[in-house]
A and B are shown apart, each in its own frame.
Chain A
């Protein structure tokens, strides 16, 4: 996939802007706080229809605007050909149009327009709380597998119902009525996560090899809270832990508590890895996500590199470019164009105060 043009109105700090990248690699240059990250975030919205920075639509809408952020994209897509996608975000609602036609089920669009964001915040995938890792995993899998999203949604809905039963001390028969469905989707979520993790771990190892000097045995390890892929095991477990669930007034065990770890030399990189190793691992995780996506769907994701190229040492920067599939579109940002990147055929935009100006070379 390639972006040809993006037009934004009342989006974050951007009143009305058009950026025509025409399918080429683009570099957005400017001081911090001017709108670089906002542009990359806007491009990323085509993938999951939600931001990797916030879950609240209203923060996407320009404060002094008309109350609705509009994003229009012209794309070149491997399966769909030239495509126009339009998104509208309001407080509490979003709407999508595909080639001018309103999309009734957002699930139809989810994951069809892949992007992979790289940012310095990615280090939180390694150092932060499990929730960030689960969110990464859910977005990555949902983008390649629509059934995963359906299982995940139903799992969370059934979980809410069961938790309400526990909280309100509902009759046994009401609570247990929700458990077979909860167990079915819990098992499916774990099964699909396990599968995804295995494939991602292979790609991660390959990507990490290109940026490391020796074999450090990189690994992505899935840490399921309940290691079971059949509904029956979940039903049994919830039966055994019922007293605890009652006291806590919520379901204590299940895939909503899953986690994963990044490892080197069979040890957790979070505790034992150097700063450089940790950064290399999260970079490799994003590269793995991109390659996995390409492998699963045949569609090449657009790389959105937010202010990271300048931070990479020469070895890792070379590895980054080497690990990308050929002909991948890269849209990057930075406070200045890094020296090593100056020879690439970028289209360059200067940004100031939410205004993007193409640099004429």
Chain B
């Protein structure tokens, strides 16, 4: 162990999903065992960090102002699917069961975890509803306590005043699970069996 190795390992350990051992393995791999992999990785990271951004419309990852979904005129702008995180959006895309557009919240309401409405990506939602004459909003948030509360909050504060139809995807999903936990066919049937929310 050297000071510079240790520093790299410490930084890697802060990444989600990496513990002490896996941080050590990644650092060892990139710096000692296969240093030829390091340069392409650094370049890719540098490049991505310069080009990637949140889509200004929906929050999805994008390389321009708008993501590929918001740019696609084939996607129905009058139906919006609300998800917690970008991987949820990607899971629904893989199921190919949804032809509308998305809105990513980047979290869910939880006073216990110090997440309030101002921490969620809600500011642009009312404009979208009005401008695109949105008819239906599909709530695809996880079905745990915080996911349900977020649905209630958004419905009361934004969706009901805007007069749109609100549906909740049919959660035969594992209890407490999120969208990313379900496979494509489960998601497809969950979307097809979505029901009106209250």
Spell out A's residues near B (CB within 8 Å). 150, 154, 157-158, 160-161, 164-165, 168, 170-171, 173-174, 176-178, 180-181
Some 6 contacts from A to B, beta carbons below 8 A apart, are A154-B144, A165-B111, A170-B116, A171-B116, A181-B145, A181-B149
Assess whether A173 is in contact with B157, with CB atoms less than 8 Å apart. Answer: yes
Q: What residues on A are CB-neighbors of B153 within 8 Å?
A: 173-174, 177
Assess whether A176 is in contact with B175, with CB atoms less than 8 Å apart. Answer: no
Besides A161-B149, A171-B117, 10 other CB < 8 A contacts? A158-B149, A164-B111, A171-B116, A173-B156, A176-B152, A177-B149, A177-B153, A177-B156, A178-B145, A180-B148
Q: Compute how far the CA of A158 lies from the CA of B116 in the bound complex, rounded to whole angstroms.
A: 15
Q: Compute how far the CA of A345 lies from the CA of B145 in the bound complex, rounded to whole angstroms.
A: 52
Q: Could you mark each residue 79-115 of chain B with 1 if its beta carbon is under 8 Å from any beta carbon of chain A, else 0?
A: 0000000000000000000000000000001111000
State the majority secondary structure of interface residues on A. helix
Assess whether A173 is in contact with B146, with CB atoms less than 8 Å apart. Answer: no
Spell out B's residues near A (CB within 8 Å). 109-112, 116-117, 144-146, 148-150, 152-153, 156-157, 175
Q: How far is the CB of A294 from chain B (nearest CB, A)?
A: 27
Question: Of B117, B144, B145, B148, which one neighbours A174 at CB under 8 angstroms?
Answer: B117
Q: What residues on B are CB-neighbors of A173 within 8 Å?
A: 117, 153, 156-157
Assess whether B116 is in contact with A174, with CB atoms less than 8 Å apart. Answer: yes
Q: Compute how far the CA of A173 lies from the CA of B112 in the bound complex, rounded to whole angstroms.
A: 16
Q: Known: A170-B116, A171-B117, A173-B117. Is A161-B111 also a contact (CB below 8 A)?
A: yes
Q: Compute how far the CA of A168 lies from the CA of B116 in the bound complex, rounded to whole angstroms.
A: 11
Q: How far is the CB of A171 from chain B (nearest CB, A)?
A: 7
Q: What residues on B are CB-neighbors of A164 within 8 Å?
A: 111-112
Q: Compute how far the CA of A157 lies from the CA of B152 in the bound complex, rounded to whole angstroms.
A: 16
Q: How far is the CB of A181 from chain B (nearest CB, A)?
A: 5
Assess whether B157 is in contact with A154, with CB atoms less than 8 Å apart. Answer: no
Q: Known: A177-B109, A177-B152. Is A161-B116 also a contact (CB below 8 A)?
A: no
Q: Compute how far the CA of A180 lies from the CA of B156 in the bound complex, rounded to whole angstroms.
A: 12
Q: Compute how far the CA of A27 lies from the CA of B150 in the bound complex, rounded to whole angstroms.
A: 55
Question: Of B110, B150, B175, which one neighbours A150 at CB under 8 angstroms?
Answer: B175
Closest chain A residue, CB of each to CB of B156: A173
Q: How far is the CB of B107 from chain A (nearest CB, A)?
A: 13
Assess whether A160 is in contact with B112, with CB atoms less than 8 Å apart. Answer: yes
Q: What residues on A are CB-neighbors of B145 within 8 Å?
A: 154, 157-158, 161, 178, 181
Q: What residues on B are CB-neighbors of A154 within 8 Å?
A: 144-145
Q: What residues on B are CB-neighbors of A170 within 8 Å?
A: 111, 116
Closest chain A residue, CB of each to CB of B117: A174
Q: Compute how far the CA of A177 lies from the CA of B146 in the bound complex, rounded to whole angstroms.
A: 9
